[in-house]
Chains A and B, each alone.
Chain A
Amino acid sequence: MDARTRILSRIGHALKERPKALLPEHPHAPPSANPLDLFLKRLAENGAEGHLLGEERARKLLGELSQGLPGAAYGRGVPASFRLLPELPPEEAPLGVSWALFAVAETGTVALSSEDGRRAQLLPPVHLVLVEEGRVYPSLLEALLDLKALPSALGLHSGPSKSADIGQVMVKGVHGPGRLVVAVLQGSW
């Protein structure tokens, strides 16, 4: 008998007399008004920066973030119109720009797919995430119930990298980006 068989048979034996517990249904998501306000509020509370912008102003924000930088690392899904700086490898880039799969208002979260990349989301000290207005879900439950296929890896980012492991003092940018900027793009893309 291999380890698998032995473990499963011990479990079967352990559960023989145990009454089975029922699986509760998921709760109903509370009806929510426009999730965008909540999303921006939560981002700010998480220590991130959030903006609701049209394309023109979004490009302006990117221009401001790019000031004086030699280049940026881009996620695959970032449209050409947002690639203002020359592309650099993520290990060297001072700025990473990603295109989010979706966002969640209640937790102030952007969801980043491995199809967009991984290094640009993690290695540069500043991370700009672009997300379409129509992809902001009010709650995590709605987002997960709506998720049809999962990529190899999905990263839920809800703020800058942080740690209080040194003397209980909060330090930002420990391993991941110390600054997270989210641009919610108005209109359809």
Chain B
Amino acid sequence: MQAKAKLYPKEAAKLLREKPGVREAVTGATLHFEEGRKKAYGEIDAEAFRERAKRVKDHLLTHLDHYLELAEKRLRENGVQVHWAEDPLDAHRILREVVARHGVKRAVKAKSMLTEELGVNPLLQSLGVEVLETDLGEYLIQLLGEPPSHIVGPAIHLALSDIQRLFHQRFGTPLNASPEALAAVARKVLRDAFLTAELGISGANFLVAETGTLVLMENEGNIRLSTSLPKVHVAFVGIEKLLPRLADLALFLPLTARAATGQRLSTYVSLIQGPAKEGEEGPEEVHVVLVDHGRTTLLHDPEAWEVLRCLRCGACLNACPVYRQTGGHPYGYVYSGPIGAVLDPGLLGLEEAYPLPYASTLCGACYEACPVKIPIPKLLLTWRKRAVERGLAPIWERGAIQALAKVMESPTLYRLFSKALRGLPLPQHLLPLLRAWTEGRGPLKPSPRPFHELWKELEAEDGR
């Protein structure tokens, strides 16, 4: 995927101006998710679960080479074909070979953020393969030609009326069709695709090293179908997705479900060991592509390596008051919200993503929600500090902050400047700092009297 993270501030302002409905839809959906998560965390000793999950992932990451080699060995023993991809080009080559060898005309896809990173859909289309996203939300945004706006709910930015309009245009359903009726239309199209596709593509939530087991979580059944009906299954797995032991799933499956959707367990979990045995239903070939694409660079980072614990549950997005205003699109890359703000600079390079760590109030809600205790607020500051050190923050901003620090340290200067700002007409169109604020907002209107004067007055009244 082409990253546009550099444009975040402009894109966020534009979205708020031009698509006010998105804020409402995203806020509604994320608050609902967040409520579910809180309730689900409340049923368990969430702190103990999170701490244990963090420790298992830290162990895995600090022994990653060992576990990757073990997973590869087990996968091969299970009859799975293992490939390694450093970047999208490697992944494309592997996929092209599979498509050519099996004469693939149609592919069904289970939702996978990694395949968004790798640009799997555009590649398949360029090869003349019809590719259908089968997660209902992914299918909706595929019809619209949009990228996902949330890790778990890719279409949460769409209101029911948007989807009614889309299906009316595409399938001729009435404009007031119920969600059930709309889902039935999608089910019919996609059922046909499941039964005729030669290739099923998925990501993975986990890959268990000890047994070579691919693990996928979902609620619709589209992943089970995508990995069961076509004769070939290709799974793209980020190298950080490993777990040491099969029984670790007893911790990670429920914890991920609770964090993501407030469920005790996702409706469907697929534990995939390999191709179908003689006389069994299921794919003849299973391929696992182990993908780096920036992850080893992150692992090398003495601070940011901790983001590799991420389970992609989306809980931090739901908890974030900044994400809630716009949804994921303005972030300009696959991963948005708080996790995107700390992951994308690592995956893309800070030069490509430096505005994202600023898309936060540092309120800390993301850390409270994170099932693997990624210190997101701390890492946001880490990336901001690096952005300033590398001169990525605009020069006027650095000057402005230094001046502000001087003014704030001296009561005399502070009073002088605040008086001047209140007294003078603000040259709002001249100062870039003010322009960034006034774009898409009303002009700044300073209070006629400063706070410290009002405060003094209140104190005097209280004293009486």
Interface residues of A (CB under 8 A from B): 2-4, 6-8, 10-15, 18-24, 26-27, 42, 46, 91, 106-109, 114-115, 117-119, 121-123, 139-141, 143-145, 147, 150-169, 171, 173-177
Contact = CB atoms under 8 A, between A and B. Distances in A.
13 contacts: A20-B63, A21-B59, A22-B59, A26-B250, A114-B281, A119-B281, A152-B273, A153-B227, A156-B271, A158-B266, A162-B267, A166-B183, A174-B221
A175 B65 contact: no
Given A15-B299, A156-B269, A161-B220, A175 B191 contact: yes
A151 B273 contact: yes
Contacts of B339: none
Contact of A3 (B86, B187, B195): B86
Contacts of A154: 270-271, 273
Contact of B300 (A14, A106, A143, A144): A14
Nearest to A174: B220
Interface in B175-211: 179-180, 182-183, 186-187, 190-191, 194-195, 211
Nearest to A153: B272
B371 to A, nearest CB: 15
A165 B135 contact: yes
B296 interface: yes
B312 interface: no
B318 interface: no
B183 A155 contact: no
Contact of B136 (A144, A151, A155, A165): A165
Interface in B237-282: 239, 244-251, 253-254, 264-277, 280-282
Given A7-B296, A152-B280, A161-B220, A18 B62 contact: yes
A155 to B, nearest CB: 6
- Chain A facing B: main interface SS: loop
A21 B57 CA distance: 9
A19 B62 contact: yes
A23 B220 CA distance: 33
A22 B55 CA distance: 7
Contacts of A109: 265
Contacts of B227: 153
B49 to A, nearest CB: 9
A6 B179 contact: no
A157 B225 CA distance: 13
B45 to A, nearest CB: 10
Nearest to B301: A14
A188 B140 CA distance: 47
Most buried by B among A117, A153, A164, A167: A153
A151 B179 CA distance: 37
